[in-house]
Amino acid sequence: MIIDVGRDDKPVALRTEEPESAGRIVMDIEMDIDQVRVLAERARDENWRFRTFIKSSDLSQARLDRAVARYYAEAAGKIDCCACANCCTVMSPQMAKKDVRRLARTMSLPEGDFIDRYLQPGQDRDTYAPRQAPCPFLRGKLCTVYEARPDNCRSFPNLHKRDFRSRLIQVVENSTVCPIVYNVLDLLKLEFWRRRR
Ligand code: SF4
Ligand code: SF4
C-alpha cells in the first residue's frame, strides 16, 4: 500500500506483507474538532514528553515512519476533510511565488492585483500568506481553488513524509488543529510509549 496524497515528497511505502498485528493498535478515532482541541491541549505536556522519548529512543526511522504511515492511512480514511476544514480556518498557508502565479492565473487576475487583494508577506523571504484566517478561498468547508491550492495546503498535515522524528515539534503543534494528526500521535503513543510505562 502506498499513501499517495498527491504531494511532491516521496510518500512512505507501507509493506502490505508487514505483520502489523504484532504492535498494531485498534482504537476509536476522535473526529470531533472541538473535542480534539480540548484533548490535544490537555495532552500537550504529555506530547512534549513523548517527543523527548522518540528523539532519544533507538526505534529505527523506517519502523517509526511505517507506523506513522499506517496510522495516517487509518485516521485519514475515517476523517472527512471536507467536513472539517479546520486547517483552512485557523492556519495560514505559506505560498511560494509559483503558488501565487498559479492562483492568480486560476482567478484570472494579474499577479500584482492578486497579491494586493489577498496576500501579505509570509514567514520567509519571497513567500506570501493570506491576509487573514480563515483563508479567503474557503467557502463553507470547501476550498474554491482546490486544483490550484498552494503546495503547503497539498502537503498538510505532512504525515506522508519521511523522517517523522525530525518533524515532531510541528506534529505536536498541529495536533491541536488537525484531528488526523491528533489521532496519529495518540496511536503512536499507545504503540510505542504508554504500553511500556
Ligand atoms: S487555499 Fe484552499 S486548501 Fe489552502 S488554506 Fe485556503 S481554502 Fe484551505
Ligand atoms: S487536514 Fe486535518 S485540519 Fe485539515 S481538514 Fe483535514 S482533518 Fe481537518
Give the number of whichever ligand sits closest to the CA of residue 128.
Answer: 1
Is residue 145 within 6 Å of ligand 1 at its C-beta?
Answer: yes
Identify the residue whose C-alpha is closest to ligand 2 atom 6.
81
Residue with cell string 495516517: 72
Give the number of whichever ligand sits closest to the CA of residue 36.
Answer: 2
Question: pTM for this structure?
Answer: 0.86
Closest C-alpha among 176, 190, 76, 89 to residue 136: 89
Q: How far is the CA of 157 from the centre of ligand 2 (A)?
A: 7
pLDDT of residue 60: 95
Is residue 71 within 6 Å of ligand 2 at its C-beta?
Answer: no
Q: What is the pLDDT along the chain (197 residues), one digit of tens a residue?
A: 222 233 334 455 544 334 444 445 556 788 888 888 899 999 999 999 999 999 999 999 999 999 999 999 999 999 999 999 999 999 999 999 999 999 999 999 999 999 999 999 999 999 999 999 999 999 999 999 999 999 999 999 999 999 999 999 999 999 999 999 999 999 999 999 876 55
pLDDT of residue 32: 82
- The backbone region for 140, taken as left when phi is positive above 0, alpha when psi lies in -120 to 50, beta otherwise, is left
